[in-house]
Structure 1
């Protein structure tokens, strides 16, 4: 196990290969060796804590920290960051959490106590408590988002062709009687990842920022009927449409409406569906009158998908930059937001 056998904190000699030499502090009931957290931000904090007692410390993915350095005597949801005995000097002067309650009997005179730096200790404790609070808040949020997805995902329904046609608004009846859904892709800003490979996958040339993007399909009356998994901002509309499960939902003779950027006509032909998009211009040539009419007709009805996405972006979490720590549940966040949108009044 190499470098992972010994506690990485400077001055701590606890080593899994020599359990008979363990030094176990009074607040620890079962000495364990804790691996680095998966959360990249927490990892960085761990490395900074270790470097406090090791001048030439080089961060490694294989370091471990023993239970002595956690206030709960082990790594817990409340206590995810090592804060105790982080420098060699701490081992002779710092008390375990249980002993701090009896400082009056610790042998420290009032004069020695006066020489302490309470302001500095308070700042350190405040920073540690802030990290602990953020981690706890993140854990609570992630737990609830996953639970809400399980409970609310049933609100996103792919209706049958008959149901769609029975509820087809008047503005679609004449020109698009076979329309099954309107689709579009939308992007959400995310915090810039530290990994260069991940940055490259998430970089959006359109937004000039790191984003995640996903496909949304709405019924002609404005209900969200399908939402794809999230992809890095680099993914194209065509790639997302083919990679997700959307095409498998279509039936022969269905019509799908999209923006001009969706080059999926041939892909829809594989499932015998058709595509309705605004006519494209050739070079600088002016569109003919019929093309202008087609563009106007599609624009008038495609407004519903823009309004549906606008509703989606009203949720503050999707309106602002999503933190890196929440990326593992970004699909859940999007699905919950779409499901809540379907509880609102129909757009059309």
Structure 2
């Protein structure tokens, strides 16, 4: 398993089951051994699906069944494993590349801690949280992992980092390109899809990508067709007007146009808005401007909510974790 591979290569993992658990009974046994709270995770999960926290023994069985059932419906595979739940964690991931010519390396990290229901809504590169020493440790661990399995392709190693950013735990590896790859491209000055194609053809990665140093700061907002003020319910329908922002350091990846109909059957993301600047402070200012210029009429989108986040003192200070959005929404409801 991925966890076993990580452990064998000296990469820390959260305590948990050694692979898949047979059922809720076996899962509960593991949960008691590692101690509550725990996270129940589907082996085939992704996009926040097939994941359920269990804070106590009383709710474990129902949460296990919910995670397994959702994974079965979404991925045709209900297998689950158990991990100790790290409280107030940060979600940090490392972009890796490997080719057939002995090149194994990473292209820095992305901070994906701004999440709602385990789905990322804002990502940035580099992370405002981790120190250079921590970055080096995590980067070395990531390269060790891909070398140990003779990996070929672009990939992402995902970690949980504790509240004071002193320890990290391997979470999973995604053997594909990630939604949020543009922030890495912008800071590193490379095209990851192009490098994937080169690797697939047996060519080495481009010379300029080897040893590249990060420049500046990049932030991405995932623009979803959802109503953020109605529990983020999907908002399918026809887009009457679509106006995307532009200018220096602004990039929009999308398939959408005025007159496009957003279907109800698929993922709700309709665009990625990426800004890049010389510093995080300037990138935040640029994102504020870009979000204010982004005009989408005919459906609801997450843009107003992302404007709130970008303008919040916690985000500006880089002080947020995976639970930030949930806590923020609870505070708003209590007002």
Fold conserved (TM > 0.5)? Answer: no
TM-score, structure 2 as length reference? 0.26
Q: Which has the larger radius of gyration?
A: 1
Query: Which structure shows the bigger proportion of residues in strand conformation?
Result: 2
Query: Which structure shows the bigger proportion of residues in helix conformation?
Result: 1
